[in-house]
Chain A
């Protein structure tokens, strides 16, 4: 059972904003400042979209933003586009391993 819980699916229409949550369910996830988000299209490797809660790597669209409140981190996609349809995983540092991944969220663009 993952220490990070995400909704199984989130959907939105083109141009809308959606938010994906990632809730810490285990005390093993001690320092929740190190939350990152990955996008994965079918048959492709994951792509880093956000690190350290809210930082975007070079080349990632500013339509993607991250935040955190208490035990829940969030990824917001603004101006939803067809190319944003993918699986999204949050990830966090734990006391025993550098990273644990969330349960994953399938984003559908209607």
Chain B
């Protein structure tokens, strides 16, 4: 059974940093691209960042470019999102999502349960 478990969310002040983690199991992690997708309650999802199976391709949404860094550790079947210079508008549920292919084409067939990031003073 595919499982994606996010952790690391919480309340953080504007301008500070937070690191999200996603532990994957139930599939061959290094065969697939992975993504972070966020969603403000009551709004639609927003793709944040994606990484190919071998980290050869990395992409970011314009809204987080230069502030967020995605990475993966295939040996640990884990995905990460380092979030710096956080803003109030970054407040959302953050989901780890598995791509259906090894390159980040952007179809997400499995999602984690989400972790809430709240940026507020």
Contact = CB atoms under 8 A, between A and B. Distances in A.
Interface of A: 2, 34, 36, 38, 45-48, 51-52, 57, 89, 91, 93, 96-104
Given A45-B114, A93-B106, A101 B44 contact: yes
Contact of A48 (B46, B107, B114): B107
A99 B111 CA distance: 15
Which DSSP category, helix, strand, loop or mixed, fits chain B's interface?
loop
Interface of B: 35, 43-47, 50, 59, 61-62, 95, 100, 104-109, 111-114
A99 B113 contact: no
Which DSSP category, helix, strand, loop or mixed, fits chain A's interface?
loop
A92 B35 CA distance: 15
Contact of A96 (B62, B109, B111, B113): B62
Contact of B106 (A46, A91, A102, A104): A91
Contact of B45 (A34, A38, A96): A38
Contacts of B113: 45
Of the listed residues B50, B61, B107, B112, the one surrounded by the most CB atoms of chain A closer than 10 A to its CB is B107
A101 B105 contact: no
Contacts of A46: 45, 95, 108, 111
A103 B45 CA distance: 9
Given A45-B113, A97-B61, A36 B47 contact: no
B44 A2 contact: yes
B115 to A, nearest CB: 11
A5 to B, nearest CB: 11
Given A45-B95, A45-B114, A51-B100, A98 B47 contact: yes
Given A38-B45, A45-B95, A101-B46, A51 B114 contact: no
A99 B99 CA distance: 11
Contact of A102 (B44, B50, B100, B109): B44
A21 to B, nearest CB: 15
A97 B44 contact: no
